[in-house]
Chains A and B, each alone.
Chain A
Amino acid sequence: MFRTKALVFWTLCFPLILATLFSLAFSNINSLDQFDPISVGIVEKDSFPSSFQTVIDELSKKSDDQLLKLTSYSSVEKAKEDLKNGTISGYYQKEDSIRLIVKENGMNSTILKQILDEYQQNTSVITNLIKADPVGWSEKMTHLFDKESYFVNASSKPLDYVVVYFYSLLGMVCLYGGFFGIQSVVSSEANLSWKGARVSIAPTNKWSVLIPSLLASLLVLFLESLLILAYLILVLKVDFGANLFLVILMLLVGDLAGISLGTLIGVSNRKDENAKTAILLSITMTASFLAGLMLDSMKYLVATYVPFLAKINPVAMITDGFYALSYSESLSRYTFDIVSLLLFSIVMMIGSYLFLRRKQYDSI
């Protein structure tokens, strides 16, 4: 198996290269949505009402919940130039009323607008307070500037969206094990290879030739998967949760599923090796795409809107198993994935058995 360079490339080198590319390209993605104080400008600060200046200064004070990083401008042109080159996300300008000028729509622009909205809404709030209590309204107004939050975050673990790409990559590797399955079948089928023809005339049961070959394939694929896992954990620092034994078990069961799928593809049709490989590749790439290899949220969308497809997709089962180990507190979801993969493998092997039994060649 190790001597077939193309096989080793696609099942070992290519995933390692792809994992490295993922790691290099996505290294900054998680930090992109992390909040940093928003750089904002204010043109001719003195022309603004003092109450607005106080609000802005308060929000720009250095603290853990600092919202803004303020720059004062003496002219609109300079502010506009800084906005164009991205130094600031927007600037406030006083004409008849206070206006916000931003470069583009987005979360930072929305926050800047929300600050201005809140400031302007306070006028009507104060009017309502005066209506109800013309004397003591100012005391009640203090709640408007209360910084204390009404919410507390109960999420237990920071979310690392990028891991899904690595999980589904491992799923893809497991299914690439199908290449080994196909090769084992090709080597034992008389109409597909000289080796198969030679084996077919030997007075042995077909399964007694194929099963050792499949077991050897499983061993080779498992060793490759372990190498890739080690690379992901030790070099790329991908989080797989605390239970390494269960991660390895998932890999082993995933590899078994991949090899059984390849075996079924190998025995179920009379096409040559190239056609069988093309069928496997199409299935693997579609399954990986639906499990989130190209777009992480795809797995969720499929599980939500086409749950049946998620339940029969082995790459999605493997990805979900790794995800469950990292993010779910109970093991029930992981166990469900393992059992589903085992069932998948059994169905594939039974299918292969049905195709292979009593297969004989009158002539080749």
Chain B
Amino acid sequence: MTVFKTYWRLIRSLFPVIILYLSIFLVLSIIMGSIGTEEKTFSMANPKVLLIDHDQSTLSKGFHSFLKEHAKLVQLKEEEDRLEDALFYRQVDYIIEIPEDYAKNFQQGEKPKLKTKNAPGSTTATYTEMLCNRYFQLARTYQESYSEEEYVPMILEDLKSGSEAILLNPGKEEIQKVESFFNYTNYTILALCLCVIGIITHLFLHPTIKKRNQISSMSSSQLNKKLFLGHFLLMCGNFLLYVLMGLCLYPSVILSIQGLLFLVNMFCFHIMALSLGFFLGNLIKSREAQNGLVNVIALGTSFLCGAFVPQEYLGKGVLTFSKVLPSYWYILGNHQIASLQEYNLETLLPLGWNILILLGSAFIFFLLTNIVSHFRQHEQ
């Protein structure tokens, strides 16, 4: 009981670290959760367009009204640097400048090209150009038959009519957000487990404390068991906090079968993180080296295994390498759960293998901890 009590006294002193990591996670989850809305029906993507209209003709004003309907009009001061910055940081997708007398030249049958600024070759720029071209294409078509004042309202009316589009999987975005939520836990679970478990193991292995424990009646395996129990309870507490956060942010998904599978996968990852933390705590003697390693492992696996950037966007070489890391299988498991349409042996088997890899890794780290611990017991 003495060891156990000491353990929780130490944990209390580490509360600021625990709160720091949980806050980072909560902020990340809330930011990502607030981006986008749930898809129930089909909706067109609205490119962000900035229109600089020096012409102020019926044609250009009609174009402005058209953009209001079909794009998101952005207002900015017309300073060169400001516009370039907005384009670079993707706050604007397309900048269009209509020069003076554009409509006059257009009416005379000329084809003056409008100057634009955009990310060349991007899908958004391709669509925006297609969208805007359509307006002037119709203007050109009507030009010989109607006056500018007549055809501009006709174009706006024509462009209002749309076709029917259906979403195959409505509501998919919610599950993608939940997937991201669980993917981010890769960073915080690893950082928290490795940091806290590392510090506590390190403190118990401090030469004077170790010597004090060696002369006590408690064997080293008993001490290890108690420490492990403390770590396990800490891990369960951490797990429950994530469950609570998940329930607050995405109650409908967390309370479904998919939610349950996400939680099982996360619990197994917690066990792996605990085992890894215990192993590193025993292996690394220097507190500073431990600190560095925690950051490298937590950030490294999050970048390389797809926690921050989805796995489908990572290069093949990176993915091949990351297969040796347990985080890869945890994140892949999350993706598999998010993609589940039906629940049967065939669809659940790949997930089962991933979870087995996580538990297998935990077992390997546990064995390695015992080996390292055995050698360190005999160290002077």
Contact = CB atoms under 8 A, between A and B. Distances in A.
Given A99-B164, A100-B165, A27 B141 contact: no
Contacts of B380: none
Interface residues of A, number: 84
B219 to A, nearest CB: 35
B30 interface: no
A208 to B, nearest CB: 31
A101 interface: yes
A350 to B, nearest CB: 31
Contacts of A34: 121-123
Given A13-B292, A28-B315, A150-B137, 6 more contacts: A14-B292, A103-B172, A107-B124, A128-B145, A133-B145, A151-B116
A26 B315 CA distance: 9
Interface stretch (B87-95, B209-217, B276-284, B360-368): B87-95
B205 interface: no
Given A104-B169, A111-B127, A117-B161, A22 B45 contact: no
Contact of A33 (B119, B154, B314): B119
A340 to B, nearest CB: 15
Interface stretch (A176-184, A243-251, A295-303): A295-303
A152 interface: yes
A97 B165 CA distance: 11
Interface string B132-143: 111011101110
Interface in B308-331: 308-309, 313-315, 318
A177 B116 CA distance: 43
Contacts of B164: 97, 99-100
A150 B122 contact: no
Given A24-B304, A29-B313, A141-B141, A102 B166 contact: yes
B313 A35 contact: no
Nearest to B90: A297
B81 interface: yes
A148 interface: yes
A25 interface: yes
Size class of B's contact patch? 35 or more
A159 B89 CA distance: 9
A112 B167 CA distance: 13
B86 interface: yes
B353 interface: no
A311 to B, nearest CB: 15
A158 interface: yes
Contacts of A99: 163-166
Contacts of B69: none
Nearest to A278: B16
A158 B122 CA distance: 10
B169 A114 contact: no
B72 interface: no
5 contacts: A18-B299, A99-B164, A104-B172, A110-B127, A161-B89
Contact of A113 (B123, B141, B165): B165
Contacts of B89: 161, 164, 296-297, 299-301
Contacts of B373: none
Interface stretch (A118-126, A220-228, A257-265): A118-126
B159 interface: yes
A296 B91 CA distance: 11
Contact of A107 (B120, B127, B315): B127
A336 to B, nearest CB: 11
B131 interface: yes
B169 to A, nearest CB: 6
A92 B295 CA distance: 49
Contacts of B117: 153-155
Contacts of A152: 113-116
A101 B168 contact: yes
Interface in B194-240: none
Contacts of A6: 288, 291-292
A119 B165 CA distance: 14
A300 B173 CA distance: 27
Given A80-B168, A118-B134, A140-B145, A113 B111 contact: no
